[in-house]
Chain A
Amino acid sequence: MSAATSTRIPEGIGTRVRRFTSRRASWIPVFAALGILLALLLAGQAYFGNFLTPRVLSSLLLDNAYLLILAVGMTFVILTAGIDLSVGAVLAFTAIMGARMLSEGVPVVVVIPVMLIGGALIGLLIGVLIQFFDVQPFIASLAGMFAARGLAFLVSLSSIKVEDPAILWLQTKLFNIDGWYLSPTGVIALLVVAAGALVLQFTRFGRTIYAIGGNEQSARLMGLPVVRTKLLAYIICGTCAGLAGVVFTAYQGAGYPLNGIGTELDTIAAVVIGGTLLTGGSGFVLGSMIGVFVYGTIKTAISFLGAEQSWTRITIGALLLVFVVVQRVIVSRSSRR
C-alpha cells in the first residue's frame, strides 16, 4: 500500500530527522522560543558585558516566580482552547485577602490554604459558566476578572503591609550556591512547572486536556470525560493564580488591590511565545517557562538600558505578533494535509 510505504520510516540517512519531525512537530515552536531566549541572552552579554552573570540569571527566576506559576495554570486552560483573563485580578484578590487576614492575626497555616481555595473557587465559577451556561471563555473569565478585582477592593482600598515572618521568608531566604541564588518562591515555581509537566504528560487527565484542544467533539465521541476535565483545567488555573498571590505577597511584602493589572495578558503572552497554540491542543509547560524567561530577559535588558519599562510591553507585543503569525502558518499548513 502506497500510503503505508510512503510513511514507513526509511532506513539510513535522514531517519532520525524525519522521525523527530513526525514525532515532535509540536516541539518546534518551543525550540524557536528557546532560540530566541538564547539569542536575547547572548545579545545582552555582547552589549552590556555583565549580563550573563549568575546574579542576573538567578533573578530571572526569582523576579518572575509568580508569572511562572500563572503561566503553568494558563497553559492548561489554553491547551483546551480556552482562555482565562481573571488570573491577574485573582492574584490581586488573594494577595490582599491574605494580607488582611495576616494583619488581623490569622495564622499563616490557615491563610495560605484559604488563598489557594479562593483562587480555585473563582476558577470553578468560570469553568461552570463556560461548561454549563455555554458562555464564551473570554466573557466568562472577564466576568471572573471583574468579580475578583471588585472583591479585592472590597477587602481593602489601600495597601496592607505583610509582616508575617513565614511569608517574608519565602522571598528573603536565599540559598546561595556558587553565586547562584534560589529563594523558596523560586523552588515553589519550579515545583509547579515540574508538576504541571508531569500531569500533562503522564495522566489521562493531562492527555484529555490535549484531546479537547485537538477537537472537543471528537474527544466527546471517544468517550473522554470532557466536562470534568475542562472544569478541572479552570480550577487548576485559578489555584495557580491563588498560589501566585502567595508568592507575589512574599515578593512585594504587601498586598495591594491594584496589583496584577495586565498581568493576565503578560501571562498569555508568555504562554504563546512559549509555543502553545491559542487554538489549543499543542503546547508544553516547559515552553511556557521559556516564554516567561523571554519576558523576564527583555524586562531586565530594558532596565539595564535604563529605558522606560513601557518598552518591555512594546517588545513583548512585537514578539507576540511574530509568534502568533508563525503559529498561524503552522496551523494552516497542517490543516492542509
Chain B
Amino acid sequence: MGDPTTTPALDVPVLQVSGATVRFGRETALDSVDFRMFAGEVHSLMGENGAGKSTLIKALTGALPLDAGEIRLDGQPVRIPSPLEAQRHGIRTVYQEIDLLPNLSVAENIALGREPRRYGGIDWPAMRRLASEVLAELGLTIDPASQLGTHSLAVQQLVAIARAISTDVRVLVLDEPTSSLDADEVAELFRVIRELKDRGVAVLFISHFLDQVYEICDRITVLRGGVLVGEYRTTELLRIDLVQKMLGREITEQRVRRPSDPEPGTRVVLGARQLRRWPRVHDADIEVREAEVVGLAGLLGSGRTELARTLAGVDQPDGGVIVLDGTPTTIAGPRRGIGLGVVYSSENRRTEGIIAELTVRENIVLALQAQRGILRLMPRARQTELAASWIEALGIRPESPETIAGTLSGGNQQKVLLARLLALAPRALLLDEPTRGIDVGAKVEVQNLVGELAANGMSVVFISAELEEVLRVSTRIVVLRDGLVVATLPADELSSGSLLAMVTQPDDGD
C-alpha cells in the first residue's frame, strides 16, 4: 500500500491527520490513516462501502473519537471531542441529510445562535439583511423570511452551506452534497465551491460520481478497507486507475473459476422490463433464468442495490413491470416476495439482517415462522432440527443452535442469514454484498455455496463491490453505470480488465 505522494507539500496543511485509528469493538474501521487538506484546495475522499470514508469524516468533525492518531490544525495539535468544538476550530460540515430546521425561516437557519439583537430582543430586519447578504454571496435569491421547508432540497443544501460560510470557516466538509441535485443545481454548487476555494477555504468533497470528482477536485485520497491507499493529484490519476485503487487487487487476466455448472436453463424465472425507481434505477431490463447466477456489476451509486431491492419487491418501482414465471407480477413488499419465492438479503447485515440478540436457531427459523403465521408455531424440536440441519449444510461455526447470533463472526452470521432465506425454499435469491466484511476463507465458502445453489436449479442475483468476485461467481453479468444497465454479457466473455473498463465512465480523461 501507500503509493508515495505525487507532489511535495508546498506549505503547511490546514488540516492534517496522522495515524488515525478507529475501532468498533473488535473491528478496525480506520487503521492508522494519514490525511491532509490544504487551503484553497478541493479534496475528495474516495472508496467503496466500508472503506472508512464516513468514519474518517466523523473523526474530523468531532462526531467520533479517535482511538489513536493526531489531528493538527495549521500544524498545531488539537483535540476535536464534539461537533461544537469542530465548529469553533472553523471545521463545518454539511451532511447528506440536511440538519437544518424546516419549521423555521431561511434567515433563522443561517443565523440561529448568532442572531443580531436590539433592545434585548431579536432584530428580525437585521437578521434578514444578514441572511440576504450571505445568500447573495452564494447567488441565491430567495426570500430570507420564507420557511425553509417550503424550498427544494437543493436550496436547503445551499442554505446549509450559507450557514457554514456565514462564520469563519477554514475547512468545509460536504458529504454527498450532489446526491439529490440535478445537473443545473450541481453546476451552481460547483460555482459556489470554486468561490470558496478562491477565498482560501479547504473543501472536502465527498461524492461517488466520478465525473463530479474529476470536475471539481484538486486532490484525491483513496481509502480501502479502512486503510490508506494513497493521495494523488486529480490531474495525475486516470479514472481507471482510481477505480482500480478503490476496488483493490491488481487487475490480472487470470482465468476465473465458475461453479461446475450444468447448462443454465432457458426458462426465465424472474425478470423486469423498463423497471424504474427514482433516483437510481432507470428503465432497467433484466432476466434471471433457472439455475444461473446473474451478477450485478457497478460502482457504489450505480444502482446495483436499488435494482435488486426493487426487483425483490422490497422497494416499490415507480414504473415498469416485474415478470415472474412469464407473468407480470406486483410484489407488494418483502412479505409478498417471500410468498412468491423471491427473497432478498440486505447488504446491511447488522441492521437489516441478523438479529444479534437472538440465537442462531431463532434467526434461522424467523422468516419461515413469519411465513407460517404466528398461530402455527413451529414446535421447538422441529426448530432445533431445522437449525441443526442448516448449520451442518452450511458449515456454521460454532455448531450449537443456541449460540447468540451476535457473537458469531461475520462470515458465520452471513451463513445464518443465508440459512434463514434458504429455509423458505425460494426460487429466486437476491444477495446484496453477501461477502462484505467477512474473512477470505468464509468468502470462498459463500461463493461456492452460491454456485451450488445455482447448480441445483435456483436463480441467484449476486452483488459485490469486488468485480473479480462477481466474475468468479456469475454466469451472466449485468453492468450498471449511474442507474443504467449498460450491458448484459456472459461472464465467459469478460475479463476483470474489460469489466472494470465498463463499470468506469467510458469518456475517461475529459
Contacts and interface: CB of A to CB of B under 8 A. Distances in A.
A4 B188 contact: yes
B2 to A, nearest CB: 34
Interface stretch (B137-145, B297-305, B309-317, B381-389): B137-145
B122 A3 contact: no
Given A4-B142, A198-B121, A337-B150, A210 B84 contact: no
Given A22-B146, A207-B115, A6 B152 contact: yes
A25 B139 CA distance: 25
Contact of B103 (A6, A7, A214): A214
Interface in B56-94: 83-84, 87
Interface string A172-206: 00000000000000000000000000100111100
B121 A281 contact: no
A214 B104 contact: yes
A26 B103 CA distance: 8
Contacts of B150: 21-22, 25, 337
A309 interface: no
B103 A4 contact: no
Interface in B79-127: 83-84, 87, 99-105, 108, 112-113, 115, 117, 120-122
B185 A3 contact: yes
B453 interface: no
Given A217-B99, A218-B101, A221-B99, A19 B143 contact: yes
Interface residues of A, number: 37
Given A2-B184, A222-B112, A7 B147 contact: no
A223 B113 CA distance: 7
Contacts of B115: 204, 207
A164 to B, nearest CB: 36
A149 B312 CA distance: 56
A222 B113 contact: yes
B368 interface: no
Contacts of A201: 122
- Count chain B CB atoms within 10 A of each CB in A26, A217, A221, A224 and give the residue with the most: A221
B145 A210 contact: no
Nearest to A8: B141
Contacts of A218: 99-101
A1 B122 contact: no
A337 B150 CA distance: 8
A201 B443 CA distance: 60
B187 interface: yes
Contacts of A6: 152
A334 interface: yes
The majority secondary structure among interface residues of chain A is helix
Contact of B146 (A19, A211, A221): A19
B177 to A, nearest CB: 13
B141 A4 contact: yes
A19 B146 CA distance: 7
A22 B147 contact: yes
Contacts of B141: 4, 8
A213 interface: yes
A210 B99 contact: no
Interface string A274-287: 00000001100000
Contact of B188 (A1, A198, A281): A1
Contacts of B108: 207, 211
A11 B139 CA distance: 19
B99 A23 contact: no
B184 A337 contact: no
A4 B155 contact: yes
B341 interface: no
Nearest to B108: A207
Interface in A284-312: none
A307 B185 CA distance: 62
A223 B101 contact: no
Interface string B166-195: 000000000000000010110110000000
A224 B112 contact: yes
A282 B122 contact: no
Contacts of B233: none
Contacts of B113: 204, 222-224
Contacts of A208: 112
B104 A23 contact: no
A238 to B, nearest CB: 24
* Most A C-beta atoms less than 10 A away, residue of B83, B101, B113, B184: B101
B199 interface: no
Interface in A100-115: none
B147 A26 contact: yes
Contacts of A211: 101, 104, 108, 112
A207 B185 contact: no
B125 to A, nearest CB: 12
Contacts of B188: 1, 3-4
Given A3-B185, A203-B122, A210 B104 contact: yes
Given A198-B121, A214-B104, A217-B99, A3 B143 contact: no
Interface in A1-17: 1-4, 6-9
A166 B153 CA distance: 58
B321 to A, nearest CB: 26
B145 A23 contact: yes
A41 interface: no
Contacts of A210: 101, 103-104
B100 A202 contact: no
B108 to A, nearest CB: 6
A215 interface: yes
B490 to A, nearest CB: 43
A319 interface: no
A215 B104 CA distance: 11
Contacts of B87: 223
A219 interface: yes
A230 to B, nearest CB: 15
B185 A22 contact: no
B405 to A, nearest CB: 28
Interface in A225-252: none
Nearest to B185: A3
Interface in B411-452: none
Nearest to A218: B99
A93 B147 CA distance: 41
B257 interface: no
B406 interface: no
B137 to A, nearest CB: 13
A188 B185 CA distance: 53
Contact of A207 (B122, B155, B182, B184): B122
A88 to B, nearest CB: 29
B154 interface: yes
B13 interface: no
B149 interface: yes
12 contacts: A3-B152, A3-B185, A4-B139, A4-B141, A23-B143, A202-B122, A204-B117, A207-B112, A210-B104, A215-B99, A224-B112, A224-B113
Given A7-B151, A337-B102, 14 more contacts: A1-B188, A2-B184, A3-B154, A3-B185, A8-B142, A21-B150, A23-B145, A203-B120, A203-B122, A207-B104, A221-B83, A222-B112, A222-B113, A337-B152
Q: What are the 10 closest A-B residue pairs judged by CB atoms, nearest first?
A: A202-B121, A214-B101, A1-B188, A22-B146, A281-B103, A214-B103, A3-B154, A218-B99, A22-B150, A2-B184
